[in-house]
Amino acid sequence: QAAPRPRACHGWQVPMKSGSLSYVLPCNRLPVQLMSQVRVYTSNGQKKDLGSEDTNGSARGETLQKAETGQDTTNAGQKQSSPKQPIQVKVKAVLKKREYGPKYTQNNFITGVRAINEFCLKSSDLDQLRKIKRRSPHDDTETFTVYLRSDVEAKSLEVWGSPEALARERKRRKEAEIKYRENLFRNQRLLWEYKEFFGNTKPRSSTAAMFFKGPGKVVMVAICINGLNFFFKLLAWVYTGSASMFSEAIHSLADTCNQALLALGISQSARTPDPSHPYGFTNMRYIASLISGVGIFMMGAGLSWYHGIIGLLHPHPVESLLWAYCILAGSLVSEGATLLVAINEIRRSARAKGLSFYQYVVQSRDPSTNVVLLEDAAAVLSVAVAATCMGLTSVTGNPYYDSVGSLGVGTLLGTVSAFLIYTNTEALLGRSIEPEQLQRLTELLESDPVVRAIHDVKATDMGMSKVRFKAEVDFDGRVVTRSYLEKQDIEQLLQEIQQVKTLEELEAFMLKHGENIIDTLGAEVDRLEKDLKQRNPDVRHVDLEIL
């Protein structure tokens, strides 16, 4: 590669490679001084020389000079080369990468409950282990105690003797748990025998209190009134044989059954969250309202249409309608009273949320009250339709008007059921909150100095004024680090920096303060989540993911 050429040399000519270094040698007119050495540092401070290039570089330089002698003779008249310019290669110390493998749990923390359950230990066994205080993920506590997983594993092997013995104990406990679940019914009977004891010690349930205020009160009033209306309308239909009266009786029966279903949904929504349902059971109200809408369509609208069509195909004379008018008048008063109760409740709730009456109903903020409102509104209108058609039948003697009234009541109930099905389905699918509210949450995050930008924002209405907020947050690392430094003794920190002389000391220094900075970042995330919940009571669950 260094063969002489009949032309002048300008620039780099000869590529060379030594060890892990690649470089290009100039021609003989540029004398070269190569001084490079590659060292690989491990985390233990050991270093390895991959080879010195001083002697090799000199030898190769001499070889080149000998190979270029002929070229120097033929080009004696050319201009002398430039002065010697030694080339130096900088050395970069690199910390050797540590391989952790596909599974590494030596530095993991676990709680005492997990240590007892997963490693079959007792609480007395944990007293002998190192206790570490960490930031609590719960709002009600600031710190909680955890244990190093490696210590727990070592203690479990000390207690049980071998991994095989520990596996057998886990298997035995698993079988005992399965057996307990199989005998759950028998255990519940035993608990029922001691109900007096548990009744004195357990806190009183608040489920019954839900039916004395708010939506529960509206539903209970509607159940009582619609039950009585069904009974009296049924008697009027038996006495008169009117198709419109039959539709009204079926309507009241459907309302009573649906509102009983709403009461069940309200009681189930008050259940506390469990491991299978970590976000609770608030959607039970929407499920009950959805089933109620389907029930209105099938029982109310379907039977009314059926009876009206039968009346058109096979008309028969209607008896005296005096009692029917009296019962319809009583039904109008009772249904109107229930409707007023539902309207007042919705107005109060809408005012508390800062919404209009229409927005509160359309957004289905309270599905139970919405069902009562729409059912009673449909009941009042259907009473007016039924009374009008029965009056036309009694005046003209034509029974077709009565059958048309039954079809009108069925159509009205079908419209109400379709609206209920649509609104409750939208709520169960998880719709987004209002754009104005989402903008307020976004501005609150972006106005914080620790946040650079937020992306992929999602805010879902979980039902019953509960919002789940999720966002990807780009944090400003400089602000987080400054927040950490403000809590440190700067003079002591400076002394620690000045004492760093070796690679091991540098690694220990960086690991110590790096972990503390990560904890500071976690504290900033907790602070932001707490601010969002305090300034927006509807936000119950906040998930901020770090970019």
Q: What is the mean pLDDT of residues 63-78?
A: 45
Say what percent of the chain tops pLDDT 90.
15
- Domain of 527 in residue numbering reads as 435-546
Q: Residues near 418 by Cβ (< 8 Å), separated by ≥ 6?
A: 293, 297
User: Is the per-residue pLDDT at 41 higher than 80?
Assistant: no
Q: Is residue 231 part of a domain?
A: yes
Alpha-carbon span 306 to 298, nearest angstrom: 11
Q: Which amino acid is at 527?
A: R
The pLDDT, as a whole number, for residue 31 is 43
Alpha-carbon span 41 to 96, nearest angstrom: 6
User: Is the per-residue pLDDT at 135 higher than 60?
Assistant: yes
Q: What is the mean pLDDT of residues 514-535?
A: 91
Per-residue pLDDT of 283-300, as tens digits, reads 888 888 888 888 878 777
What tokens does 341 get? 């109760």
470 and 531 part of one domain = yes
235 and 378 part of one domain = yes
423 and 320 part of one domain = yes
User: Is the per-residue pLDDT at 42 higher than 70?
Assistant: no
Which among 401, 429, 457 is the end of a domain? 429
Per-residue pLDDT of 78-122, as tens digits, reads 445 555 566 766 666 666 777 777 777 778 888 888 888 889 998
The pLDDT, as a whole number, for residue 193 is 57
Strands 94-95 and 109-110: unpaired
Q: Is residue 16 part of a domain?
A: no
Check if the beta carbon of residue 139 is closer than 8 Å to that of residue 530: yes
For the chain, the residue count is 547
Say what percent of the chain tops pLDDT 70.
77
Check if the beta carbon of residue 462 is closer than 8 Å to that of residue 273: no
514 and 413 part of one domain = no
Which among 429, 454, 471 is the end of a domain? 429
Which among 161, 179, 200 is the end of a domain? 161
User: Is the per-residue pLDDT at 38 higher than 80?
Assistant: no
How many Cβ atoms sit within 10 Å of the Cβ of residue 299?
19
pLDDT bucket at 44, cuts 50 / 70 / 90: very low
The pLDDT, as a whole number, for residue 479 is 93
Q: Is residue 30 part of a domain?
A: no
461 and 480 part of one domain = yes
Per-residue pLDDT of 402-454, as tens digits, reads 888 888 888 888 888 888 888 888 888 878 888 888 999 999 999 999 999 99
The pLDDT, as a whole number, for residue 308 is 85
* Structural domain count of the chain: 3
The pLDDT, as a whole number, for residue 79 is 46
Q: Residue 148: which CATH number?
A: 3.90.530.10
539 and 452 part of one domain = yes
Alpha-carbon span 22 to 20, nearest angstrom: 7
Q: Is residue 489 part of a domain?
A: yes
Among 37-51, 261-275, 512-526, top mean pLDDT goes to: 512-526
Alpha-carbon span 256 to 294, nearest angstrom: 14
Q: Residues near 386 by Cβ (< 8 Å), separated by ≥ 6?
A: 244, 245, 247, 248, 328, 405, 406, 409
What tokens does 534 get? 């305090």
Check if the beta carbon of residue 110 is closer than 8 Å to that of residue 147: yes
Per-residue pLDDT of 350-402, as tens digits, reads 888 778 888 888 877 778 888 888 878 888 888 888 888 888 888 888 888 88
364 and 465 part of one domain = no
The pLDDT, as a whole number, for residue 463 is 75
Distance of CA 92 to CAs 39, 95, 179, Å?
8, 10, 64
Alpha-carbon span 300 to 246, nearest angstrom: 10
User: Is the per-residue pLDDT at 185 higher than 80?
Assistant: no
Q: Residue 510: which CATH number?
A: 3.30.70.1350
Which of residues 129 and 322 earns the better pLDDT score? 129
Per-residue pLDDT of 334-360, as tens digits, reads 888 888 888 888 888 888 877 888 888
Per-residue pLDDT of 142-174, as tens digits, reads 788 889 888 998 999 999 999 999 999 989 988
User: Is the per-residue pLDDT at 10 higher than 70?
Assistant: no
User: Is the per-residue pLDDT at 66 higher than 70?
Assistant: no
Alpha-carbon span 274 to 269, nearest angstrom: 13
pLDDT bucket at 65, cuts 50 / 70 / 90: very low
Q: Is residue 66 part of a domain?
A: no
369 and 476 part of one domain = no
3-class DSSP assignment, residue 274:
strand
Residue 103: which of 57, 66, 149, 47 has the closest Cα?
149
109 and 227 part of one domain = no
Q: Which amino acid is at 135?
A: R
Phi, psi values for residue 203, rounded to 5°: -65, 150
Which spans in 202-242 are helix H?
214-240
Q: Is residue 145 part of a domain?
A: yes
Q: Is residue 76 part of a domain?
A: no
Q: Is residue 197 part of a domain?
A: no
The DSSP element (H or E) to which 306 belongs, if any, is: helix 303-313
341 and 218 part of one domain = yes
3-class DSSP assignment, residue 348:
helix
Check if the beta carbon of residue 409 is closer than 8 Å to that of residue 379: no
Q: What is the mean pLDDT of residues 451-463?
A: 89
Q: Residue 398: which CATH number?
A: 1.20.1510.10
The pLDDT, as a whole number, for residue 83 is 56
What tokens does 408 get? 């009108």
470 and 417 part of one domain = no
Check if the beta carbon of residue 436 is closer than 8 Å to that of residue 312: no
Which of residues 485 and 14 earns the better pLDDT score? 485
The pLDDT, as a whole number, for residue 52 is 42
290 and 309 part of one domain = yes
- Record the pTM: 0.61
